[in-house]
Amino acid sequence: MAEPPADPEAARSGATWSEATQLRAGSYLIEVLDASGAVTAAEGFEFALQRTGTTASGGQRLALEVRYGGTGPLAAAIRYRLLLPGTPDPWWLMPGAFYGENRPAACDRVFPRFEVGASDPQAMVSDRWEFRADRCATPAVFVWNDSEGVALVADDLSPVGMTGLGIAHDAQSGVASIQLTFPYQEGPVTYYGSATPLPADVTTHEWQPGEEVRLEFAQHALPADRHAYAPILRQVHADKAASSPITPWVPLDEAADIAAEGLYRWHYDPEPGVLLETVGFDRGVSGQDGKSIDRQAMHVGWVSGIPWAYALLAHGRRLGRADEVAAAEKVIGFICDNLSPSGSFWGTWYRSSGWTQSWTPIRRGIHSRTLAEATLFLLRALELGEDVRAEHPAWAASARSNLEVIVNRQREDGNVGSVHHAETGEVLSWEGASGLTWVATLAEAARYDDGDRYLSAAIRAGEYYASFVEREFIHGAPEDVDLAPTSEDGYAAVMAYMALHRRTGEERWLDLARRSADWMLTFRYSYNVSFDPLSILGVYRFATRGADQASTSNQHLGAYGLVCTQELDALSEALGDPHYRLQADETLACFRQLLAVEDGQVNAYRGMITERYYQTNCFQPKGMLLTLSHAWCVGVLLLACEQRLAA
């Protein structure tokens, strides 16, 4: 990679946009874009690219000085492109927004996909993509070929507006490029959360004669290892700490009490003993106390069910609250007493139709991650005390049944399957890594593991799914986005490999847990997004640092990262590295914001917690939040608080 000149005049002399449409210097390219987003030969621009220092992670700090000397105002944007030749099959990373091909060809959810030589914007398949910075957990873009890589890192805001990040590839030359655009552009279409894209979003700055602007960013040369992003993102996270404070509204014990009340007061329905998945903030809708918009359904895990009943049980036992204990036990008992014909849990209960499959288009399919998570937290409930085991023998029988069916279905290579038939037990899909959670579940089943049979299955599965971690593309965990890469895949991987490390003490599993945590943290916001001061997130000054992008498909912030709080704490302790516990601290702080302490706050009732915080232009306008309380959002905050309070 050619280094930028230290002398700004060396870049400026003899090259102006009156003479050429592009300024070339080694492996970088500077372009001016007109109001339509096209590269233009706009006259009057001069540039000086200067190296101003190095980053702590070894990158070059650069300043691009732009001078406009035209005779009148001009609407335009400036793009800096970094080229990587010899890249017939590039691997991309925009943290939280784009991973490799991003959408596997077999994925049934439609969102931006990269494909060499492709140009089908309406199907959202292209060999070039541009995004606004607030879609990215860290405004950075990386690309690798088989022998090296390059990266660009910027602030989300520049002197001319929000920064844009992009990727592009030329199939004929094999040249890949990554780019920063000031201000942002989105193309070839804009993703708004549905399969139908919006038109490209082109923004410009109105340059005035004589105006000078300094654009600062960092540039990195990388080895072939795709994990080379980790020290760069870690350094950016540290650099942003002072300018991105988080102020939680309440201490941990009070947050736990509020969340427990929210689960019990709003989500628990004693008949038949369920945690309703969603409850509307507005209880006056249609004059029916809000029930017309409450989702009368319960998953066994994931968005409802046993994990969050476990958290309520732990809280109730700690504080001696018999009503919470009874409610939690009833939910767990209802699920355990209603196994599917195949011997596993069902996927979902509906008030109108009873027990049925998961949210998968595969008929009668039950999602592996959901089953595993329900079984994992059932095992944890059984470890709360000998009295629990004595009073609930059916819980242990249910756990054994689920463990047995999954071990019996495991393939020779360790894959435990992604979707299972509710009646026959046939594995309907082996795609993706949704079986990762079974690694943690099998490893934590020591009390019931005669002859280490479950541990052996956990190790085989851990070896199989390690390839997803090592490839830096873990995908398939949540039911609702099929094979998309998601933050939830990262949580599952961290929990899986920390469980194997606890059970075996082997360093290989600890290293995989570390790599998994680094990948998971690519979804975690390292900075505070700026909001319109009159939007609800702006009014409350919501700090996004510590929150996670849900997935490349579901581009909103969510709190599910709290599920592995104890694993991140344990990872830091095992490595002697406080970084991962610090990240868990920030997530706990983040989601003790916008917590309704009293009825009426945040347009909600005490204990209601939203699923979605809209930090970018996807699903809803930036600055809004979803006015539905989700059982998992309340439950995962309660879980993390209880884990910390018990530590």
Per-residue pLDDT reduced to its tens digit, 408-427: 999 999 999 999 999 999 99
Q: What is the mean pLDDT of residues 150-159?
A: 98
**CA-based angle 114:115:117, to the nearest 5?**
130
Q: What is the mean pLDDT of residues 307-321?
A: 98
* Residue 10 reports pLDDT greater than 90: no
Q: How far is CA 195 from CA 108, 109, 224, 426, 509, in A?
A: 10, 8, 34, 31, 38
Band of pLDDT at residue 286, cut at 50, 70 and 90: confident
Tens of pLDDT along 40-98?
986 899 999 999 999 999 999 999 999 999 999 999 999 999 999 999 999 999 999 99
Q: What is the pLDDT of residue 145?
A: 96
* Residue 597 reports pLDDT greater than 90: yes
Q: What is the average pLDDT score of the chain?
A: 94
pTM beyond 0.85: yes
* Residue 324 reports pLDDT greater than 50: yes
Q: What is the mean pLDDT of residues 338-365?
A: 97
Q: What is the pLDDT of residue 13?
A: 31
CB atoms within 10 A of CB 172: 6
Band of pLDDT at residue 190, cut at 50, 70 and 90: very high
Q: What is the pLDDT of residue 224?
A: 96
Higher pLDDT, 622 or 287: 622
* Residue 269 reports pLDDT greater than 70: yes
Q: What percent of the chain has pLDDT over 90?
A: 93
**CA-based angle 305:593:289, to the nearest 5?**
55
Across 105-116, b (16+ Cβ under 10 Å) vs e yields: eebebbbbbbbe
Q: Phi and psi at residue 532, in whole multiples of 5°?
A: -55, 125
Band of pLDDT at residue 16, cut at 50, 70 and 90: very low
Sign (positive or negative) of CA dihedral 488, 491, 495, 501 = positive
Higher pLDDT, 43 or 204: 204
Pull the structure tokens for residue 31: 């372009």
* Residue 6 reports pLDDT greater than 60: no
Q: What is the pLDDT of residue 46?
A: 93
Tens of pLDDT along 108-119?
999 999 999 999
* Residue 7 reports pLDDT greater than 90: no
Q: What is the mean pLDDT of residues 532-551?
A: 98
Q: What is the pLDDT of residue 290?
A: 80
Q: What is the pLDDT of residue 352?
A: 96
Q: What is the mean pLDDT of residues 271-292?
A: 91
Domains and CATH numbers, the chain: 8-240 (no CATH), 252-646 (1.50.10.10)
Q: What is the mean pLDDT of residues 15-25?
A: 33
Q: What is the pLDDT of residue 212?
A: 97
Band of pLDDT at residue 3, cut at 50, 70 and 90: very low
Pull the structure tokens for residue 583: 């990240």
Q: What is the pLDDT of residue 1?
A: 39
